[in-house]
Chains A and B, each alone.
Chain A
């Protein structure tokens, strides 16, 4: 009899917990749209608007999508590829991006674009430890499910409009297509010596799990995946290269590592970095982008849209970018 009462009590208590958590989840879903920026720009509350400019491109017009951290937005210039090869690309790169953020970024891009190739900048595969990766994975999953976790700090900037108009209108276009221009030189005198350094070269299980999810998601949407590691004197090592190489072989994903092989691009650490080896400058990006653009053209079916009137805006953006940065074209 007592056991029955106990069981009843337990069921009642567990029901209470489930109801309480359901109310919380409902409120999170209901409140989140208030906090979501209503425009994909900095002023509206988007932290890295360059990475979110893909919303502003015409639907399904981005051929190549690149996702990664600051190494990527310093090294790959979609407008140069456009000018040289004629297909479109976009760089969705954010500082210190993780593979977990990359996965949800890809999910977001696929809501409005249908890329043929997805490039993953593999520098972000190396993290501190398993526990931190799991934390970061939960963090990103929560932010995706309940954007309040991402945009909660907007409580300072909320206006009446945020409460009235709950649907965002993401149309802002980024002329630079995610690339961030830097023209200064601060050379890396040690060149490629960094490759011999002893850095943790293991890739955690959680990262590997999300990497597979990332690849599956791209494949499910008809995109091929490619791994790229742009020159980075602060993170890349030969052992890390080998780790990615093993992974790329097992997953059957092509991998280009510019740290190991510069493919006659003429890349030079004396002139092609803006901060002593951490990031490339415009000169470095031009050399790397030239090779990458050519490589993609040769290995994937990418159409030249330069004469297509639907893509006229790309020509304008290219000219604006060159003029704005005082570059010859």
Chain B
């Protein structure tokens, strides 16, 4: 039950909203929880619900266990002297760690086994077969819907309780709803417990503005997904599916179209998701902040899939940085290296774990590992070369604050991101490499080849005009202007005309129905 289907938009979302509206405030959360489980079963297989139930139960109990340990310390500490307090605290800390490790074993264990078992078995077979003559068998495994998303949410909740950010929730329904809320279950955003759990549980009365604004956001998401992304997909599939036949500007176009496709599809999905939640007066965190206006790769990743980046920062980067072995390493570097290295080595080492996790999170294959490493290497080069870049800029008298330099930085980032997208989309690493090289084969600026890449000129025009519209909306956002809010202030006649035109643009120019393939959400596969 994809978010762009009639069954979701008209029947499921519509009826859930009606039930939510008529139920008493106290029981509204039950409507959302029931709808979320119904969605999960309808979009997946009945028995796969076991995994999300197991996750819910494990994190609920782990968090309460952690609370008990904290409470025990608080109640006993007054009775102990300093030394005893220290010893007791250490003992409890060890217990807390054990609880977290147990929770991680259950949840990460399920994710790693179901998502990565075959990948690691394949790698080990390749590496060890010749030496040990051992063959690890491949398994046919089902991946529970949304496991990559709800597992991260579950872990963040328990670690936050472990770190004392907030107390464990004794309300099982609230924890269950936080993990299964139907708009976020397939593709995120990876929300935090303190951001959404209370909003989901408290129950909101009918709110006209939230209903209309949520619907507008869904329409905007539909425009991005079915007018632009699904149409661009045809050209992308045409070239990537038979890449050996293409070279030069054809490949460049295909890469650019894929970047357009992935951005409009994922950000469009997030608009539909956030719009769906807003109808229930639930405000979800944003996952995108005009990423193609970023001036560096670091900034790009602060604007693209924001909730994943923030999760990796808070639960991988900080966890690695604050771990005892890493502290020792830090100490060693500080004693044995110069200031330049002692500043960069620890940061780049911790970042390595972030990017390997980022790559692997996207998929169980070497391609995704390399995708993560690609960005990691670029960032590390950027960090190590910073003094050199600084000197070059000074020598050439480049003013970093000029508009031209900003445009150069944005274009440079876009170029790097497009190469990353090539790795992401190509079937294998070798095909990505082949396509990259073929960009320089027979290269010329003959854009007429566009008409022979599986998409009619009319369709290409729709993709390009749609992309320009998305760009302009982004440009306004960058300047702090929310077009949606501006339109909301218009008179009813121009305002409704605008909305109706928007709706008919989606209906008429949507790439759906006969002649177009149904394109599954790319991030739903992760």
Contacts and interface: CB of A to CB of B under 8 A. Distances in A.
Nearest to B6: A138
B7 A134 contact: yes
Given A13-B208, A135-B5, A148 B507 contact: yes
A24 B508 CA distance: 13
Contact of B513 (A28, A153, A156): A153
B340 interface: no
B10 A47 contact: no
B11 A23 contact: no
Contacts of A10: 206, 208
Interface in B2-51: 5-8, 10-11, 42-43
Contact of A152 (B5, B456, B510): B510
Interface range on chain A: under 10, 10 to 19, 20 to 34, or 35 or more? Answer: 20 to 34
Contacts of A153: 513-516
Interface string B490-518: 00000010011001100111100111100
B1 interface: yes
B213 to A, nearest CB: 13
B1 A131 contact: yes
A88 to B, nearest CB: 28
Interface range on chain B: under 10, 10 to 19, 20 to 34, or 35 or more? Answer: 20 to 34
A148 B206 contact: no
A135 B456 contact: no
A23 B513 contact: no
Interface in A92-138: 129-132, 134-135, 138
B75 interface: no
A156 B507 contact: no
Given A24-B503, A47-B514, A135-B1, A152 B508 contact: yes
Nearest to B42: A131
A142 B496 CA distance: 23
A135 B504 CA distance: 20
A311 B99 CA distance: 84
B133 interface: no
Nearest to A16: B208
Which applies to chain A's interface (DSSP): helix, strand, loop or mixed?
helix
B6 A142 contact: yes
Nearest to A155: B508
Contacts of A134: 7, 11
A72 to B, nearest CB: 19
B458 interface: yes
Contacts of A203: none
B508 A148 contact: yes
A139 interface: yes
Interface in B205-259: 206, 208, 211
Nearest to A142: B6
A101 to B, nearest CB: 11
B515 A47 contact: yes
Contacts of A149: 507, 513
Given A134-B11, A156-B458, A24 B515 contact: no
Given A13-B208, A23-B496, A131-B1, A152 B513 contact: yes
Nearest to B503: A24
Contacts of A263: none
Interface in B294-344: none
A152 B507 contact: yes
Contacts of A145: none
B500 A130 contact: no
Contacts of B1: 131, 135
Contacts of B211: 17
Contacts of B42: 129-131
25 contacts: A9-B208, A10-B208, A13-B208, A16-B208, A24-B500, A28-B507, A31-B504, A35-B508, A47-B515, A129-B42, A131-B7, A132-B7, A134-B7, A134-B11, A135-B1, A135-B6, A139-B6, A142-B6, A149-B507, A149-B513, A152-B508, A152-B509, A152-B513, A153-B514, A155-B508
The 4 A-B pairs of least Cβ separation, nearest first, read A135-B7, A138-B6, A13-B208, A131-B42
